[in-house]
Amino acid sequence: MARAKNLGRFLLWRSIRAFTLLAGISIISFLLVKNSPIDPIQAYIGADMLNVGPEQREKIAQHWGLDDPVFKQYVNWASSLLGGDLGTSMIYREPVAEVIKEKFSHSIVLMLTAWVLSGVIGFTMGVVAAMNKDTAIDRIIKWYCYTLASTPAFWMGLLMVMVFAVWLGWFPVGLGVPAGILSDDVTFIDKVKHLVLPAITLSIVGVANIALHTRQKMIDVLASDYILFARARGERGFILFWRHGLRNVALPAISLQFAAFSELFGGAVLTEQVFSYPGLGQATVEAGLRGDVPLLLGLVLFSALFVFTGNLIADLIYYVVDPRTREGRTYES
Amino acid sequence: MPILEVENLSVTFRQYASGLKERNIRAISNLSVTLEQGEVLAVVGASGSGKSLLAHAILGILPANAETAGSIKYCGETLTAKRTQSLRGREIALVPQSVGYLDPLMRVGNQVRTAVRNGKPAEEQRKVFKRYKLKSVVEKLFPFELSGGMARRVLLSTAMVSGAKVIIADEPTPGLDPEALNEALLNLRELGDQGCAVMLITHDIDSALRIADKIAVFYAGTTVEIAPAKDFTGDGEHLRHPYSKALWGALPQNGFTPIPGSQPHSAALPPGCLFASRCEKATKECHQAQPDLRELRNGKVRCIHAT
């Protein structure tokens, strides 16, 4: 009972925090966009700009309320936001919510694949390195991780394209589906083929972080008194790792992986750009370059919410799974 | 024949002092001690005198940068690393100091079960919990939920269910209230009476004397005296080594008299008697070579002047 109540309070506070976070971010990003050299009218009209006279511009500006004080403009936008209306994307000519939904459905596959891959590979590498600390295998893993940690995602992406798409020709160079084919004719295999390179690129870069953290945590665990005592009871090797190592190192690793949503998102933006993969990342770059203000703002809010969710899950895992942070019980002996 | 025999054990740690310069830290030097079946041997000494390391050396769980010399025999057989591995948790069991030695994320009942060597784990664990008056709900608890006394009994349970003949209890008493302390000591004595050999490592001489048959006094990583417990009486006139006498005299009820100086650091041990620099009786010979452990009045002492 007490635990459910505590969990409820925890979630309530987090919701309030999410709301204030979004409010803060919406104000800051709105002000940033307002003060940027983006001209929303030009973005709206595009190439036909020459055919639009100053009077017509004036009328559009008036219609959109662009001459109102900034604060009033923000209130207008924010109040429709609260009503669930994110506005209409200027480059896609569709509601922003629709665009995000569609792009996200592509990105989530990419991000999820990369996330799971980097989590599993990174965790394994970290554990192996720690269990064989100061041996050649540990040094190789460490060296590999430091190299990866200092490798930008886009550069890794370019390398992958060069090697696996251009030279070896194993995978397509870019896009999410084959070009020149009706969308009904696109097979699952086609989609997977287009996913492989971006997903591997994104996960390779994510591996270093989780591997190095897991390694350090595992070293701490192995040096702990409870491991010493387990060894004194005759446990060793895999049994020792399975019984005491894994459960103590998995929790921080999983939390870290959820908390790494921000890096995942950031990595996806660059990777999608390199592979012309039609996801959220590419949409963000497009929206920024072509001055699609409603879409840009919508994406900013969405990515903030995405990262916040990752962090929330990380906290929640500790809260629910770790017995030490649960409601303390006391029993008289 | 003693069940456990430690002879001239030395433990040295290699450390990088500054840069690539290595230095050796001799944490235990020429330590000898024997343990008989049915006997409770108390190992007493100040912090840093090598008491816990002795336990770890016997169990073969010293850190990787430790080097050992000398021999440890179990039932007359010299222990190799491989033999120790097969004995620990089976013939030789450790009762650690605190609840911190239990896996924080594993229910304590399961942890006791992993130590069972003969019989059905769950049954054996319930039996031993019953014996130590731990309610059945305790097996479902996590270590952080245990009180000090309960943790004590859970830790003892892990040694009990293993069926080991040698029990090494490393500082099992600090932080216990008088009642729990009494109970913990009685439990250990009980194990001795049942035929186990118990090594009680402690710095609490008073508690040790209540249950021990023999006391081994450690100083700077070596045994300076091994004496029957009954010699620790009066002004310590039956004791052999000046350090044992000083230790006895420093107890609150025996005058509370401190002696000047402190234990030499294990990275810079003197060539002669390790206690010489603080000893009133020290002569020139004392500073020249470390005295051997010799038999004296039904005990052992490492001092050339002892009578």
- Note the pLDDT of residue A125: 94
CA-based nearest distance A287→chain B, Å: 48
pLDDT band with cut points at 50, 70 and 90 for residue A275: confident
- Asked if residue A193 belongs to a domain, the reply is yes
Put simply, whether B104 touches A (Cβ < 8 Å) is: yes
Task: Give CA–CA dist A27/A127, Å, rounded.
Answer: 43
Residues in chain A, total: 333
Q: Are strands B92-95 and B166-170 parallel, antiparallel or unpaired?
A: parallel
CATH number, domain of A268, equals 1.10.3720.10
8 Å CB contact of A247 and B90: no
Residue A333: inside a domain:
no
Report the phi/psi class of residue B166: left, alpha or beta, with left for phi > 0 and alpha for psi in -120 to 50.
Answer: beta
- Tell me the percentage of chain A whose pLDDT exceeds 70: 91
Q: How far is B213 from chain A (nearest CA, A)?
A: 25
Query: For chain A, what is the domain count?
Result: 2
Q: Is residue B150 part of a domain?
A: no
Count Cα atoms within 13 angstroms, Cβ side, for B100: 8
Name every chain B residue with its beta carbon within 8 A of the beta carbon of A244: 103, 106
Q: Is residue B136 part of a domain?
A: no
Looking at the structure, tell me whether residues A40 and A150 fall in a common domain: no
Q: Which domain range does residue A33 map to?
A: 2-82
Spatial neighbors of A268 by CB under 8 A, at least 6 apart, are: A107, A110, A111, A114, A202, A279, A280, A281
Whether A107 and A78 map to the same domain: the answer is no
> B254: number of CA atoms within 13 Å, CB side?
18
- Of A28, A52, A82, the position where a domain reaches its end is A82
Both A259 and A200 in one domain: the answer is: yes
What CA–CA distance (Å, rounded) separates A321 from A69?
A: 50
Q: What residue in A sits closest to B129 (Cα-Cα)?
A: A333
3-state class (DSSP) for residue B14: strand
Cross-chain CB nearest to A225 (options B96, B133, B142)? B96
- Mean pLDDT, residues A201-225: 89
Q: Do A324 and B144 touch (CB under 8 A)?
A: yes
Give me the total of CB pairs closer than 8 Å, taking one residue from chain A and one from chain B. 82
pLDDT at B261 over 90: no
Q: Say if B13 falls within a structural domain.
A: yes
> Is the pLDDT score of A328 beyond 70?
no
Tell me the pLDDT of chain B averaged across its residues.
Answer: 90
> Does residue B168 sit within a domain?
yes
Give the pLDDT score at A332. 42
What was the pLDDT predicted at A177? 67
- Contact between A294 and A97 under an 8 Å Cβ cutoff? The reply is no
Mean pLDDT, range B107-116, rounded to an integer: 93
Q: Are residues A226 and A121 in the same domain?
A: yes
Instruction: Quote the number of domains for chain B.
Output: 1
pLDDT (tens digit per residue) in A152-173: 878 888 888 888 877 887 877 7
CA-nearest of B58, B151, B79 to B108 is B151
Cα A47 off chain centre by: 34
Residues A61-100: tens digit of each pLDDT = 777 777 777 788 888 888 888 887 778 787 888 888 888 8
How far is CA A268 from each of CA A175, A209, B79, B120, rounded to the nearest angstrom? 14, 16, 58, 53
Among candidates A233, A248, A333 on the partner chain, residue whose Cβ is nearest the Cβ of B158: A233
**Residue B241 domain-assigned (yes or no):** yes
SS3 B127: helix
The reply to whether B128 touches chain A by the CB within 8 Å rule is no
From the list B59, B142, B158, the residue facing A323 with the nearest CB is B142
Place of tokens 């000893």: B279
Mean of the pLDDT values across residues B108-121?
91
Shared domain for A287 and A162, answered yes or no, is yes
Q: In 3-state terms, what secondary structure has residue B223? A: strand
**Domain assignment of residue A332, yes or no:** no
Minimal-distance CA residue of chain A relative to B162: A233
- Whether A138 and A39 share a structural domain: no
pLDDT of the residue at B224? 93
Residue A333 has pLDDT above 50, yes or no: no
Mean pLDDT of B105-114: 92
Asked if A237 has any chain B CB less than 8 Å from its own CB, the reply is no
Order of strands, sheet of B197-202, starting from the edge strand that comes earlier in the sequence: B92-95, B166-170, B197-202, B40-44, B214-219, B222-228, B299-301, B294-296
**Residue of chain B nearest A239, judged by CA positions:** B114
Asked if A278 and A207 sit in the same domain, the reply is: yes
* More confident of the two residues B217 and A275: B217
Same domain, A132 and A248: yes
Pair A37, A157 in one domain:
no
A117 lies in some domain? yes
Establish if B195 belongs to a structural domain.
yes
Which residue from A233, A248, A322 is facing B114, i.e. has the nearest CB?
Answer: A233
Q: What is the CATH number of the domain that holds B69?
A: 3.40.50.300
- Among A71-75, B158-162, B244-248, B300-304, the range scoring the smallest mean pLDDT is A71-75
- Cα distance between residue A45 and residue A65, in whole Å: 17
Q: Do the Cβ atoms of B51 and B201 come closer than 8 Å?
A: yes
Domain endpoint, select from A34, A50, A82: A82
Residue B108 has pLDDT above 50, yes or no: yes
B297 touches chain A (CB under 8 A): no
Q: Copy the structure tokens of residue A286.
A: 């497009």
Q: Any CB–CB contact under 8 A between B65 and chain A?
A: no
Residue A223 lies in a domain: yes
On the question of pLDDT at A1 being above 60, the answer is: no
Is A42 found in the same domain as A117?
A: no
Among A3-12, A197-206, A224-233, B84-93, where is mean pLDDT lowest?
Answer: A3-12
CA distance B93 to chain A (A): 7
Over range A216-229, report the average pLDDT.
92
Is the per-residue pLDDT at B228 higher than 90?
yes
Q: Which domain holds residue B194?
A: 4-91+164-301
Q: Collect all residues of chain B within an 8 Å Cβ-Cβ radius of residue A251.
A: 105
Residue A329 domain-assigned (yes or no): no
Closest chain A C-alpha to B102 CA, distance in angstroms:
5
In this predicted structure, the answer to whether residue B148 has a pLDDT above a threshold of 80 is yes
- A330 pLDDT exceeds 50? no
Q: Which residue, A82, A111, A131, sits at the end of a domain?
A: A82
A229 to B101: CB separation less than 8 angstroms, yes or no: yes
